[in-house]
Structure 1
């Protein structure tokens, strides 16, 4: 007679098997990166397919826009264009003055780097991870560690690249850090993500450091990961507890990380070369010294 209740695999065996598999996956985590990239490349067409309804919806909204709305937008764009033209004229003057100062100091002039506009295709569904997926990948030349900004400031950096897409880790993620400096006094610090989409914090800042609410934080260029001078955040709160060794400083990112749609991928300047130091042996003799040597030879 077949028994009604059949004894299955014991709970202890299942627990042991799960622990063993977990340890194996932890050890082989780095070796699984090529497999993850291959799977991501295979699934990239599906991500584009999932993005089709949104594209169709945007196209429909643009198609049914009324003439009045287009006229209002045209006037607003004309106003913004005039404002940008005026700012561009002032910036051109500052650029020329900066080039003259760099020439006097013997510093290399920073050339315009390559930039590509990318669109956000997917946002992280995990509340403990802050990342987005862009519609550009290795085929466009995107690489791991590449800087990503929007119209207002730094967004984050590329951490994973497939053939057609790339994943960007936002600067508010708990595993993200970025070197910054305060524009007011050039104080340098490290801005660390807090897991909150609109807050980052400055770590290990002494209580005596000159930091004020409202200070603008920009990239310092240290680490050679983010270009220097891009806006990052603005200091919102400073807490100096007598029982703590360091200040607790929180800042709000300037980029709208909770509603970004278009971002800018930035490539580093390849033509930048460090200035060659001038040696004493390379300096030609002065004309007066040369004439003095000639007169000495004649008198002899």
Structure 2
């Protein structure tokens, strides 16, 4: 009973002893290598406890990530299925429209548009000049490329090849002040010419009488009349229409669909397939 109420050393003495032990351990840790080895052994001994303690959190986090990933995959899968269904429906309509278009062209005595060969090319260099807009691509005669072939990208018409080497070619962009392309307005079918004025983001539409039905927002497509660019590819959108009664023609400006100052990859077209289609029709007749 008396041993129960016996007290140990005073609190002050305990504090002094604890401080002395701490200082001694810090001294040993600082100036000897044995403490490092002891710490390494202790860390190795208790590392399984760390793994065991963090295991529930890791399992929960991993399960949450898998659940989130699965939900994202399900959502993306659903969106892709919807998009595929819509594209299938559009493809059916496109096939019908192509058939109707070929019938109409046959009645009118013109050749159907046949998709020809395409080749992907990368832009190697850009000629920086205030008015001359040209680029160099990494395809040449070794790839079957020739002068005057049309160049497009995913947005629309880019330009045409003006010189060819074995492994590279030079392309004249539609914004160059020496370039012109035959176009037609998608809404009304009016045919005209769009020429470059030395600005990356602007073309001038010329020779349009004041009575022409054209307005801002009209899409200009390649008409195919110049014999260089296949019909139907987007070229530019009309952004300005000015009618001046003192002038014989209206002033019209259009913005190219392609960002000509930042193109990286382009498609080289072989429009000769239209000639083959014409010859095939003549042979059948």
**Shorter-chain TM-score: what band?**
0.5 to 0.7
Shift of 1:208: 1.6
The 1-side partners of 2:91 and 2:152 are apart by: 20
Is 1:181 the equivalent of 2:187? no
Once superposed, which parts of structure 1, at least 4 consecutive aligned residues long, lie more than 6 Å away? none
Please identify, of 189-198 and 87-96, the stretch whose mean Cα deviation from structure 2 is larger: 87-96
Larger radius of gyration: 2
The DSSP-based 3-state class of the residue aligned with 1:271 is helix
Shift of 1:127: 2.9
Would you say the 8 A contact 2:131–2:199 is kept in 1? no
**Structure richer in helix, relative to its length:** 2
The 2-side partners of 1:137 and 1:201 are apart by: 31
The 2-side partners of 1:227 and 1:177 are apart by: 14
1:145 to 148, 154, 158: 148
* 1:30-63 CA distance string (max 9 Å, x none): xxxxxxxxxxxxxxxxxxxxxxxxxxxxxxxxxx
* Equivalent position of 1:212 in the other structure: 215
Q: TM-score, normalised by structure 2?
A: 0.66
The DSSP-based 3-state class of the residue aligned with 1:194 is strand
* Equivalent position of 2:197 in the other structure: 194
RMSD between aligned residues = 2.8
* Equivalent position of 1:260 in the other structure: 263
Q: TM-score, normalised by structure 1?
A: 0.63
Matched positions, count: 209
1:222 to 221, 225, 228: 225
The DSSP-based 3-state class of the residue aligned with 1:136 is coil
Would you say the 8 A contact 2:117–2:269 is kept in 1? yes
Pairwise mapping of residues 1-300 of structure 1 onto structure 2 (< 5 A)?
Answer: 75=76, 78=80, 84-105=87-108, 107-268=110-271, 269=273, 270-273=275-278, 275-276=281-282
* 1:230-271 CA distance string (max 9 Å, x none): 111111101112332211100001112122111111002142
> Residues 203 and 109 of structure 1: is their aligned pair in 2 closer, same or farther, counting only changes over 3 Å?
closer
Structure 2: state its 5+ residue gaps. Answer: 1-68
The DSSP-based 3-state class of the residue aligned with 2:199 is coil
The 1-side partners of 2:235 and 2:158 are apart by: 8
Would you say the 8 A contact 2:131–2:197 is kept in 1? no
Shift of 1:169: 0.7
* 1:73-117 CA distance string (max 9 Å, x none): x94994766654443232122223333444555544333211111
Please identify, of 172-181 and 206-215, the stretch whose mean Cα deviation from structure 2 is larger: 206-215
